[in-house]
Every structure is written in C-alpha cells, then in structure tokens.
C-alpha cells in the first residue's frame, strides 16, 4: 500500500505522499486499476450509474451490513462500476440477519435496472451479483444450517469427474430428493433478497434518481458524499489532486544561473 501510494505521488509530481495517495492506492489494490480510457456510451454510463446506485441505496437501508465506503462508475478490472463496503472492525463470523441483508444488497443492482429501464432492458451486468448471491444462499443451506426443511446438517454436492476426456464418474453425496430441496431453499433465499431490494428501491425511487445523477456527474462518490446527496446537500470538490503543485516538482534544487531573465533547463526525468 505504501509503495503504491509513493508511486502515485511521484507520478503526480508531489514531494510528499498525502492521504489522497493512500486512499487512491487502497482503491487500486481492493477494486482494481481504473480504466478511464475505456469508451462507454451515455446509455451504458446511465445504466451503470443506476445499477451501482441500487447497490449503494439498498446497502444504506438494510439494518445489518457494512457501511458504504465508495461507489464508482469508472470501470475497474472487469467491472464497469463498483460499490465498496468496508467493515468497521475485524469479523470472524456472520449472523443470519447479516447474510440476508447481504443477499438484498447483491440483488439491488439488477432490481434498479428493471425499475428504471424495464424488464426488457436488463443487461448481463448482474451476472456476478447473481452468482455471488446463489453461492451465499447455497452455503447458508448446505453448510451453516439456515434452513428449517433441511435442518442443521452439512450437505455435500454431487460431483462429476471426467477421466481422459471420455468416461465420467459421478460422486453421489446427496439423494435426488434432497438435491431438489436444496435447490428450492436456495431459490427461496435469493428470491427473498430480490423482493426485499425491490421493496426498498420502490419506496426510495427518488433517492435512487438523486444518487444515480450524482454518480453521472462525479463518477466516484464516497460514503459521506452519498449521505450528503441523499440529505439534499451539495458536493464541493477540491481539485488539488488534478491541479499540478506549485513550485518545482522535484525535491532537488534547481541547477543553473539565477539572473533577471528566464533560464531554460532540460526536461526532468519522469519517475518510473
């Protein structure tokens, strides 16, 4: 983290590593490298803003989840946008209420797309959200005993192994009837998360509009800025990060004669 922050400070021509460099370095490590050069249409940006706004708004509404740290519609890694939640302390386990809240947060993006653009305009951008929600619900049912129908029993998954690309060996860990019950319970939990996200975003649709427009304007919003927008406030940004620092960009003294006229020096080496 410190090394990445120092590299960012050098690229920006700063003599000291400020808190902004540490913040940007943390985002790069946790969320991936920004792809600002990636071309996105207005429609794609708008859809991404509502998608991420849905995640953030549900996360701010459900009672048992981590605080929202940042929301962005700048592409990072393979994602077109992202909402980051950071825990306030180290966690060793999660409760049933926290997991159910997490399911609602995961489905918030897809629900927001459907509410704003219609069911026919839903994109494949929520594939990762659906996959994570399904994985969490399956673990709740088969590993952590959060199903009254299946009880407090750990269930394995039926697996198929291919040998030399021809024969297939099947490992049967649960019966067909139990596998059907597992699928039914997983679907029940995921659909609950979807319905809870729908209820929240329907009730707070005006807040969703405010948050999406804020993301379209600023592209990245911190948790505090999101709360400010939802409370009816305005955001004022300091452009100190983008403005080049005054004075020499190097910590070394300037070489050359100091006369009344201007002196031309060679180009400074760019940091690696």
- The reply to whether the predicted model has a pTM over 0.85 is no
Cα–Cα distance, 181 to 179 (Å, whole number): 5
Q: What is the pLDDT along the chain (272 residues), one digit of tens a residue?
A: 777 778 777 877 888 887 777 777 766 666 666 666 666 778 888 888 999 999 999 999 998 888 888 888 887 766 678 788 777 777 778 899 999 999 999 999 999 999 998 888 888 888 888 999 999 999 999 999 998 888 888 887 655 555 555 555 556 677 888 889 999 999 999 999 999 999 999 999 999 999 999 998 888 888 888 888 888 888 777 654 444 444 443 443 444 444 444 333 344 444 44
Residues 6+ apart with CB under 8 A from 138: 182, 186
Is 60 within a domain? yes
Question: Residue 264: its pLDDT value, please?
Answer: 35
Question: Residue 168: its pLDDT value, please?
Answer: 55
Quick count: other Cβ atoms within 10 Å of Cβ 33?
Answer: 11
Q: Are 193 and 133 in contact (CB under 8 A)?
A: yes
236: its two tokens: 């004022």
Question: Residue 241: its pLDDT value, please?
Answer: 43
**Which residues span the domain enclosing 191?**
40-146+186-230
Is 269 within a domain? no
Is 74 within a domain? yes
Cα–Cα distance, 147 to 121 (Å, whole number): 34
Question: Residue 92: its pLDDT value, please?
Answer: 77
Closest to 52 measured CA to CA, from 211, 167, 166: 211
Q: Are 71 and 221 in contact (CB under 8 A)?
A: yes
Is 221 within a domain? yes
Which residues are marked as active site? Answer: 52
Is 208 within a domain? yes
Question: Residue 135: its pLDDT value, please?
Answer: 93
Is 250 within a domain? no
Is 32 within a domain? no
Question: Residue 146: its pLDDT value, please?
Answer: 92
Question: Residue 174: its pLDDT value, please?
Answer: 77
> 226-260 as b/e, with b when 16 or more CB fall inside 10 Å?
bebbbeeeeeeeeeeeeeeeeeeeeeeeeeeeeee
Residue 105, domain CATH = 1.20.58.760
The CA R_g of the chain, rounded to the nearest whole Å, is: 25
Cα–Cα distance, 233 to 56 (Å, whole number): 18
Count of the separate structural domains present in the chain: 1
Is 57 within a domain? yes
For residue 107, the SS3 value is helix
């Amino acid at each position: 983290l410190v090394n990445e922050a120092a590299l960012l400070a050098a690229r920006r021509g700063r003599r000291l590593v400020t808190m902004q460099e540490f913040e940007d370095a943390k985002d790069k490590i946790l969320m991936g490298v920004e792809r600002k050069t990636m071309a996105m249409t207005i429609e794609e940006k708008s859809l991404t803003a509502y998608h991420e706004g849905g995640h953030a708004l549900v996360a701010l509404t459900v009672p048992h989840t981590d605080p929202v740290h940042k929301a962005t519609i700048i592409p990072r890694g393979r994602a077109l946008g992202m909402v980051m939640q950071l825990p306030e302390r180290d966690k060793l386990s999660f409760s049933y209420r926290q997991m159910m809240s997490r399911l609602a947060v995961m489905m918030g993006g897809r629900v927001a797309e459907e509410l704003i653009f219609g069911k026919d305009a839903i994109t494949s951008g929520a594939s990762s959200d659906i996959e994570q929600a399904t994985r969490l619900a399956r673990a709740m049912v088969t590993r952590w005993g959060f199903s009254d129908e299946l009880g407090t029993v750990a269930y394995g998954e039926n697996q198929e192994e291919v040998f030399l690309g021809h024969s297939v060996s099947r490992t049967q860990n649960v019966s067909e009837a139990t596998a059907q019950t597992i699928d039914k319970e997983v679907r029940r939990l995921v659909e609950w998360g979807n319905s809870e996200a729908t209820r929240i975003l329907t009730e707070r649709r005006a807040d969703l509009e405010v948050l999406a427009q804020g993301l379209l304007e600023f592209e990245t919003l911190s948790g505090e800025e999101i709360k400010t927008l939802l409370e009816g406030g305005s955001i004022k940004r300091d452009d100190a990060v983008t403005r080049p620092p005054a004075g020499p960009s190097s910590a070394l003294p300037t070489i050359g004669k100091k006369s009344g006229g201007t002196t031309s020096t060679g180009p400074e080496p760019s940091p690696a």
